[in-house]
C-alpha cells in the first residue's frame, strides 16, 4: 500500500536506524492496522526521544529551515520536536501495563521519555530547553502540557520530586509570553490547565479569556475563526 511508504518523507526518519541500534527495538512487523500505526508512530518519535534521553538532542538533531534562519530556528527546534512527539506518543504511554511484547516495548519508551524530561527541564543540563525566550515556546510548552494531561501518571506523577518541580517551573515561565489574538490564546489556557491539574494553582484569566474569545469567533457548523477571521485549515481539528 502506498500509505506504508509515506513515512520516508517525514523529517528525522533517517535517524531511526541509529536510534534502534541505541536500544529502542521496534516491534516485529505484523499485518494489522494497529501494528502499522504503532510502527509509524515509533519511527517518528524514536530519534527525538532517544537523543534527548542521552543528552544529545541539541548536538545531533538536524536543523531544517530556510537559509538565513538557522540562528532563530535553533532557539525553538528542540522543544518543538520533543513536545509534539510527546503529544502524539502520550496516549500510548498512558495505557495500562501488561505482558505482551507491545507492553514491554512501551515500558522501555516510558523510561526513555522520563529520563529525557529530567534532562530537558534541568537548568544545569546541556540539553536544557528554551521555555521563555521568544514567543514560540508558548506554543510548544502547550503541546507538552497537553501530553502531560493525556498521560498524567507517566509524564508527571511518576517523576522524581525535583523533576516535577522543574517541569512546573518551566511551564510557569510561559506566563510572561503574551499570546497573539488567535488560536494562541488556547496555548496559554492549556498551560494553565496543566498547572492547575498538577498543583492546584492557577491563573484563571488566560483560560477565561481564551474561551470567551473563541465563543465570539464561532463561525458555525463546528468551525471557529483563527482569531476574528475564518481560516479553512487544520487548526480547528488539531488545536481549536
pLDDT at site 235: 82
pLDDT at site 2: 39
pLDDT at site 23: 52
pTM assigned to the model: 0.85
Higher pLDDT, 162 or 27: 162
Residue length of the chain: 240
240 pLDDT more than 90: no
Higher pLDDT, 22 or 164: 164
Mind giving me the DSSP string for 85-123?
HHHHHHHHHTSPP-SSHHHHHHHHHHHHHHHHHHHHT-T
125-149 confidence digits (pLDDT tens) = 999 999 999 999 999 999 999 999 9
Residue ranges of the alpha helices (H) in the chain?
A: 16-21, 33-53, 57-60, 70-73, 77-93, 101-120, 136-150, 152, 161-173, 184-199, 204-216, 235-238
33-63 confidence digits (pLDDT tens) = 999 999 999 999 999 999 999 999 999 999 8
pLDDT at site 128: 98
Q: Residue 131's closest CA among 89, 196, 149, 122?
A: 122
Query: Quick one: cell of 125?
Result: 543540563
Residue 5 CB: number of other CB atoms within 10 A? 8
91 pLDDT more than 70: yes
Query: Quick one: cell of 91?
Result: 496516549
Residue 121 CB: number of other CB atoms within 10 A? 24
Distance CA 79, CA 142 (A): 11
Distance CA 4, CA 73 (A): 30
Q: Calculate the alpha carbon distances from 71 to 75, 78, 177, 220 in Å.
A: 7, 13, 20, 41
Mind giving me the DSSP string for 148-172?
HHHSHIIIIITS-HHHHHHHHHHHH
143-185 confidence digits (pLDDT tens) = 999 999 999 999 999 999 999 999 999 999 999 999 999 999 9
Q: Residue 189's closest CA among 129, 237, 139, 134?
A: 139
Residue 228 CB: number of other CB atoms within 10 A? 10
Look up cell 520536536; give the residue. Answer: 81
Q: Residue 87's closest CA among 61, 108, 121, 113?
A: 113
Confidence of residue 231 (pLDDT cuts 50, 70, 90): confident
pLDDT at site 27: 52
Amino acid at each position: 500500500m502506498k500509505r506504508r511508504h509515506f513515512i520516508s518523507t517525514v523529517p528525522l526518519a533517517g535517524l531511526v536506524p541509529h536510534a534502534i541500534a541505541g536500544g529502542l527495538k521496534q516491534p516485529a512487523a505484523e499485518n494489522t492496522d494497529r501494528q502499522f500505526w504503532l510502527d509509524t508512530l515509533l519511527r517518528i518519535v524514536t530519534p527525538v526521544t532517544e537523543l534527548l534521553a542521552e543528552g544529545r538532542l541539541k548536538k545531533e538533531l538536524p536543523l531544517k529551515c530556510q537559509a538565513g534562519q538557522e540562528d532563530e530556528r535553533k532557539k525553538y527546534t528542540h522543544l518543538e520536536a520533543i513536545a509534539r512527539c510527546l503529544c502524539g506518543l502520550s496516549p500510548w504511554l498512558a495505557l495500562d501495563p501488561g505482558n505482551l511484547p507491545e507492553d514491554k516495548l512501551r515500558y522501555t519508551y516510558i523510561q526513555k521519555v522520563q529520563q529525557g524530561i529530567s534532562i530537558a527541564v534541568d537548568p544545569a543540563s546541556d540539553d536544557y530547553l528554551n521555555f521563555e525566550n521568544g514567543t514560540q515556546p508558548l506554543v510548544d510548552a502547550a503541546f507538552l502540557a497537553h501530553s502531560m494531561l493525556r498521560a498524567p501518571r507517566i509524564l508527571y506523577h511518576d517523576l522524581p520530586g525535583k523533576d516535577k518541580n522543574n517541569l512546573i517551573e518551566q511551564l510557569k515561565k510561559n506566563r510572561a509570553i503574551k499570546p497573539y489574538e488567535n488560536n494562541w490564546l488556547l496555548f496559554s489556557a492549556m498551560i494553565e490547565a496543566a498547572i492547575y491539574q498538577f498543583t492546584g494553582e492557577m491563573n484563571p484569566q488566560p483560560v477565561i479569556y481564551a474561551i470567551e474569545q473563541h465563543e465570539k469567533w464561532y463561525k458555525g457548523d463546528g468551525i471557529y475563526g483563527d482569531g476574528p477571521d475564518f481560516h479553512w485549515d487544520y487548526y480547528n481539528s488539531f488545536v481549536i
